[in-house]
Every structure is written in C-alpha cells, then in structure tokens.
Structure 1
Amino acid sequence: MKKIFLITFMIVCISVMQVCAFSPYVSYNQHFKSVNKTAKIVLIDMNNQTIKPKVARAHEKIASADSLKHMTDSKKTDSNRVIGGINGTYFSAYDGSNLPYGTLIEDGKVVHVGNYGSVMGFTADNKMIIDNLNITIDGYINDEKQFYAWGLNHPRTEKDAIVVYTEEYGEAISAKTGKAIMVENGVVKYIVENKDNLWASKNGLIIVFNEEVAYLADRFKVGDIVSYKCNFESKNIDQTIEGNVQWDDVTCAIGAGPSLIIDGKITANGAQEGFWESKINTSRAQRSFIGYTYENKLVMGTVSNANLKELAQICKEMNLKGAMCMDGGASSSLYYQGKYITAPGRNINNALVFTEEIVNQ
C-alpha cells in the first residue's frame, strides 16, 4: 500500500513539474505565514508573445454589467484559446448606472479615463507597468489646439464640464442643457443645442459642452476637422529613462487601485490615491489583485478577508515589481481555463482577460 501511494505521489509531482516547465501559465494556491492568508494565483509568462492581454467590457459597452465568465469566454476566437481573466475596475454597482471609474485602454485607444488610483498597462510586446497615471485630453480644430475635455465616455453633471464620447460608449448621450459637436470620420457634421438621445456614430465622436461652457462650441463650424489627443503623466515611473515602459507605447490597460507595489516599493496608501472608503483602505474584505515580476511574469489572484497592508505584504513576499488592487468584495473573481477559481457575487463592468494564440505546428 505504501509503495502504491509513493508511486502515485511521484506521478503527481512529475505532472506538476511538467506543467510548470512547458506551459506558459499555471494556477496554484500559496499560503503566506506572515499574514496567515492563502492566495489563489494564476501565473502567466508574458515573455511568451502568443499571450495577449485584453480588456473586456460588459456587452461591449462602457456602462453595463455581465459575468466574468461570459466576458472572458467572449474573447475566444478561431485563432486563440482563453487562459482566464480577473475582475476589473470599480464601477457604480448600486445605482443601476454601471459606470466604470478606472481608466481603460483597448488596442491602443483610450476608451475611458479615471484619474485616480493606479493603472496597469501592457505594450504590444507584453512589457508591463503599474503606476499612478494622470490623463489630460487636448482637443484640436483644423489641427490647432482649441479646447480641452474633462473626461472621456463618462457623463459629468458639472455645469462647466466638457466630455468627449466615442462609439465605444454605446448608449444615448445627453446635451440637454448645453451644446454638442457631432463628428463623423473626423469632420463636424452637426452642431446641436439642448438635445437628448444623441449617439456617437462608428468612427465618430460627440463633444458635449455643458451649460456654462456652451459658448465654447461657437469655435466649431460644420466641415471643420476635429480630433483629440490623450496625454499621459506617470507619477513614479520616470518616462525619460531608457528601458522604462512608456505609456505612449501601452496598447492595453486597466485602472483600479490602490497600488500595492510600484517599482519594487510597497505603497498601499489608498488615501493618497483618491480613495476614501474604509472598505478599500483599511477593512478586511475579499480582494483581487494583479501584478508582475522582475522576470516579466504576470500574476493575478484573489485573497479572502485581507486588508490593504496584508495584501501588499503578500505581493512583496512574491517579489513583485509592481502590483495593485482590482475591485473587491462581491466583484472579486478569478476565472481560469473555463472554471471559476473565485466565484463573483455579482455581475461586473469590465475585466482583464488573457488569451493564447494558436500557433500552427
């Protein structure tokens, strides 16, 4: 009987070693004695260029909600396989609006701006960065800078707000108390005032000027060429140093926070990053996190009943170069190879998903 057990044990060990040796991704649990917590972890080798990170939005909209499973599985195509995914940024889960709060970048295009917390970005060749990121938006009329926007694809009620909406918004847009510039293929087609139920066309955008700044819409006329540019300001990662990942090179990103580790140093200070709720900053709760190693390996995981400092300690013991929180509590969820490792308590707004391209042998 002992011999049978020994043989079985050896077979299991060899199988695990083979998975770790030959697969660019693996799932495991790890206990951390220092905080008496167990993390459920997925490790992905981003040096493998067949691995592709993707932001998934619920129903391909900005303000919607769906299951992590459905959003992750929706990224499967005939030419890839889905590895898994983790829940994304915070969103308005209680008022029915389902609006996200964090920054989202897809295929090199900023589709939502959230200037607080932290952002994790990926370049086209899978280099990674986590930092506090501020995005400003400059607007151009006939190639001259003529305006700026407060935000992108996120309604603002302030009377002096200016917001750009793109086709990714996927919902009706209101300029009920202001003016809207409606652009198609880079050219102003219409200028409307005090209108509801406006929709950004494919390859188009709408710029809404709320009531106190509606006069700025007078700078536009039908036929003008209009564009905007997002500018990136990284707080801690010096963008002038050769070798550091540049935000201008990031093609996929998702923002949440607070950060746990930036450039190898523990941060974990929610108040400094714009968070004020105790359930984020100090309380113990179900937590989701993502990070990366010095060897360019991606880590995504969940930990139950942990506070911010405990989660940062876990990431430090894993020797992560960068790490940050995702949305937690009922949103916290981790999905791997068709199954939940951590099941969510509600539908979520967005997710970070990883796929593997199928290479013909």
Structure 2
Amino acid sequence: MKKIFLAIVIIFLMGFSQVFAVSTHISYTKNFKSVNKTAKIVVIDVNNQNIRPNIGRAYDKIAAAQSLKDMANKKKTDNNKVIGAINGTYFSAYDGTNLPYGTIIENGKVVHIGNYGSVIGFTSDNKIIIDNLNIKIDGYINDKKSYYAWGINHPREEKDAIVIYTEEYKDAISSIGGKAVIVENGTVKYIAENKDNLWVSQNGFIIVFNQDVSYLVSRFKVGDKVSYDFKFESKNIDQNIESNINWKDVKLALGAGPSLIINGNITADGALEGFWESKINTNRAQRSFIGYTFDNKLVMGTVSNANLKEMAQICKELNLKGAMCMDGGASSGLYYEGKYITSPGRNINNAIIFTEEIIK
C-alpha cells in the first residue's frame, strides 16, 4: 500500500514539475531575511516570443490617469491574454495635469522624454536593457539640421523652451506668447503665432517655440519638408559593443528610477540620477521594481515599507542583471492573471503590460 501511495505521489510531482517547466510565468511571495522585507514577485519568460510587452497609456493619451487594471485589460484581444502588469513612470498626480515625467517609447516611436533616472527597454525579440539614458532631438528643414527641441509631448513654461507634439498628444496645444509650426505629412502646413487650441493631425506634429526662441520660426516656410530624429546616449552600457543591446533597436521603453542594478552591479543612487526628494532617495515607502535575469527573464514586483538600498539588496538576491524602481507610494501596483497582487491607491498615467498570444 505504501509503495502504491509513493508511486502516485511521484507521478503527481512529475506531472507538476512538467507543468512548471513549461510555464511562461509564475507569481510568488518571498521573504528576504537580510532586509526583513517581503516581496510580491512575478516572473515572465519573455524569451518566449508569444509573450509581448506593451505600454499602457491612460485612455491612450499622454496626460491622463486610469486604473492599472483597466489599462491592462484594454490590451486583451481575441488572440491574446493579459498575463500581468506593473505601474510605470512618475507623473504629476497632484496638480490635475497627469503629465508623465519619464521616457516613453512605444512601437519604436519616442512619445515622451524624461532624461533622468533609468529606463527599461525591449527590442523586437524581447531582449531587455536597463540603463541611464539621455535622448537628444535634432530637427531638419529640407534635410538640413536647422532646429532642436527640448522634449516631446510635455508642455514647458520656460521662455526658451521648444517642444514637439505628436499625434499621441490628444489635447489642445497652446502657442500663447510664442509661435508654432504645424506639420502635416512631413511638410509645413501653416505657422501660428500666439494661438491657442491647436491640435495635431494624423501623421503630423506641431513644434511650439516659446517667447524667447520664437524668432527661430523664421527658418520655416509653408511647404518646407520638416523632420526630426533622436540621439540615444547610454551611460553604462557601451553601444559600440556588438553583443550589447543598442537603444536604437529598442521598440518599447519606459523610464522611472532610480536604478537598482546595472550590469549586475548595485547602483541605487538617486541623487546621481537626478532625484532630490527624500521620499525617493532615502525614506521607506511602498515600492515597485522591474528587472531582468542574466538569461533574459523579466522580473517585477512590489515591496512594502522599503528604502532604495533595501530594494537593491532584494534585486541582488534575486540575481538580477538589471533592475530599477518604478513609481511608488500610492501608484505602486502589481496585476497578475486578472487580479491585483498589490492594489494601487490611485489611478496612474502609464504601465508596462505583458500579453501572451493564445495558441489555437
């Protein structure tokens, strides 16, 4: 009887191990005695090409806020299922504008630039990179470099600011006090001065020159061919080494920070990455993190009442090659298999969402 029972147990365990072995994702809770913290963790094997990372933007806008659950479920289709999601970058949650602060790259297109903290990026075949990233914008008129811009889809009040707005920015744009160049299908359609209620057309963009730099608009004429491109500067990962992930190949990215681990080494220095608030750099708070292993598995999770150094230690013990903080506090949220593992305390601006194709 004991032998029969033992045989049944072995068969069960073999079946369980086989199921676990082929699973593309798991969720678990782990206590880290070194820092006396418990983390809620999701691991997703993005080496499986049926799994895709997605950027969730609240109501598909730049400046809005929505629940993490609703953003995630919007990515569900007849051909895929939502595995999980984690809250994204910092945003202006208290002034009503709901503008993001971090870098956002979606479908290979830069739709917002942060130039602080750290950024996680994914290539078309799901290879992952985390580093401090700076993005510069060069503008061209009739194929000649002729202007520059401070950023993308983020209104600036500085009198010398130049901002490009793309079709992803689905709100009214103002050039009050300055001038705007309205571009459609790659050519200048018209130039507006001191105008409000401007809107980006499909396949178009608008360049707003604030007061002190509005004289630069004299370089543009109706009918000119206008474009812009980006230069990516990675601080720690040499872009000239062929085996390294190159930012120009990244199709999806989200920036927050501070970084916790880069290239296997603990970083966790908020001041060095442009953060000045103690609630980010030193205080304990609810935290979210995302990272990847040396064999390119995605790891994301949340930890209660932790500081930056404790988060870095947790990620080190998880043997992560790269890791970074996402927005924390009330924004911190983790969603898995249709349920909250950690419930955010407010609506958020953006998220990273993982879907898996349904094999029929």
1:192 alignment counterpart: 192
- What is the alpha-carbon distance in structure 1 between the residues aligned to residue 67 and residue 10 of structure 2? 39
- What is the alpha-carbon distance in structure 2 between the residues aligned to residue 39 and residue 15 of structure 1? 28
In 2, are the aligned partners of 1:56 and 1:352 still within 8 Å (CA)?
A: yes
The number of aligned residues is: 358
- What is the alpha-carbon distance in structure 1 between the residues aligned to residue 359 and residue 203 of structure 2? 32
> Where has structure 1 moved over 3 Å in runs of 4 or more?
5-19
Pairs within 5 Å for 1:1-361: 17-360=17-360
- Identity percentage of aligned residues: 73
For the residue of structure 1 that corresponds to 2:245, the secondary structure is coil
1:169–1:159 CA distance, 2 compared to 1 (3 A): same
1:146–1:7 CA distance, 2 compared to 1 (3 A): same
1:12–1:160 CA distance, 2 compared to 1 (3 A): farther
For the residue of structure 2 that corresponds to 1:175, the secondary structure is coil
* Structure 2 unaligned residues grouped into runs of 5+: none
- What is the alpha-carbon distance in structure 1 between the residues aligned to residue 192 and residue 9 of structure 2? 72
Query: Which letter does structure 2 place at the counterpart of 1:32?
Result: F
- What is the alpha-carbon distance in structure 2 between the residues aligned to residue 9 and residue 96 of structure 1? 58
For the residue of structure 1 that corresponds to 2:26, the secondary structure is strand
Q: What is the Cα deviation at residue 20 of structure 1?
A: 2.4
Q: What is the Cα deviation at residue 19 of structure 1?
A: 4.2
In 2, are the aligned partners of 1:65 and 1:98 still within 8 Å (CA)?
A: yes
- What is the alpha-carbon distance in structure 2 between the residues aligned to residue 342 and residue 16 of structure 1? 27
For the residue of structure 1 that corresponds to 2:201, the secondary structure is coil
- What is the alpha-carbon distance in structure 1 between the residues aligned to residue 219 and residue 12 of structure 2? 70
- What is the alpha-carbon distance in structure 2 between the residues aligned to residue 169 and residue 10 of structure 1? 57
Q: What is the Cα deviation at residue 30 of structure 1?
A: 1.1
Query: Which letter does structure 2 place at the counterpart of 1:171?
Result: D
- What is the alpha-carbon distance in structure 1 between the residues aligned to residue 115 and residue 220 of structure 2? 28
Query: Which letter does structure 1 place at the counterpart of 2:60?
Result: E
1:172–1:304 CA distance, 2 compared to 1 (3 A): same
Q: What is the Cα deviation at residue 12 of structure 1?
A: 8.6
Q: What is the Cα deviation at residue 57 of structure 1?
A: 0.2
Q: What is the Cα deviation at residue 286 of structure 1?
A: 0.5
In 2, are the aligned partners of 1:19 and 1:26 still within 8 Å (CA)?
A: no
- What is the alpha-carbon distance in structure 2 between the residues aligned to residue 283 and residue 225 of structure 1? 50
Q: What is the Cα deviation at residue 355 of structure 1?
A: 0.4
Q: What is the Cα deviation at residue 306 of structure 1?
A: 0.5
- What is the alpha-carbon distance in structure 1 between the residues aligned to residue 13 and residue 249 of structure 2? 41
1:22–1:179 CA distance, 2 compared to 1 (3 A): same
For the residue of structure 2 that corresponds to 1:26, the secondary structure is strand
Q: Write out per-residue CA displacement over residues 170-206 of structure 1, whole angstroms, 9 at most, x where no aligned residue.
A: 1100100100000011111010100011011111000
For the residue of structure 2 that corresponds to 1:71, the secondary structure is helix
- TM-score scaled by length of structure 2: 0.96
Q: What is the Cα deviation at residue 71 of structure 1?
A: 0.2
CA-atom RMSD in angstroms: 1.9
- What is the alpha-carbon distance in structure 1 between the residues aligned to residue 237 and residue 204 of structure 2? 33
Q: Write out per-residue CA displacement over residues 126-156 of structure 1, whole angstroms, 9 at most, x where no aligned residue.
A: 1000000000000011111100000100001
Q: What is the Cα deviation at residue 22 of structure 1?
A: 1.4
- What is the alpha-carbon distance in structure 2 between the residues aligned to residue 15 and residue 169 of structure 1? 50
For the residue of structure 2 that corresponds to 1:168, the secondary structure is coil
- What is the alpha-carbon distance in structure 2 between the residues aligned to residue 22 and residue 272 of structure 1? 41
Q: What is the Cα deviation at residue 23 of structure 1?
A: 1.2
Q: Write out per-residue CA displacement over residues 243-301 of structure 1, whole angstroms, 9 at most, x where no aligned residue.
A: 10000000000000000000000000000000011110001110000000001100010
In 2, are the aligned partners of 1:120 and 1:129 still within 8 Å (CA)?
A: yes
- What is the alpha-carbon distance in structure 1 between the residues aligned to residue 131 and residue 11 of structure 2? 43
Q: What is the Cα deviation at residue 17 of structure 1?
A: 3.2
- What is the alpha-carbon distance in structure 1 between the residues aligned to residue 64 and residue 8 of structure 2? 48
For the residue of structure 2 that corresponds to 1:43, the secondary structure is strand
- What is the alpha-carbon distance in structure 1 between the residues aligned to residue 91 and residue 308 of structure 2? 19
More displaced 10-residue stretch of structure 1: 334-343 or 76-85: 76-85
Q: What is the Cα deviation at residue 240 of structure 1?
A: 0.4
Query: Which letter does structure 2 place at the counterpart of 1:154?
Result: H
Query: Which letter does structure 1 place at the counterpart of 2:315?
Result: C
Q: Write out per-residue CA displacement over residues 86-133 of structure 1, whole angstroms, 9 at most, x where no aligned residue.
A: 000000000000000000000000000001000000000010000000
In 2, are the aligned partners of 1:335 and 1:341 still within 8 Å (CA)?
A: yes
- What is the alpha-carbon distance in structure 2 between the residues aligned to residue 324 and residue 341 of structure 1? 19
Q: What is the Cα deviation at residue 6 of structure 1?
A: 10
Query: Which letter does structure 1 place at the counterpart of 2:327?
Result: D
- TM-score scaled by length of structure 1: 0.96
For the residue of structure 2 that corresponds to 1:215, the secondary structure is helix
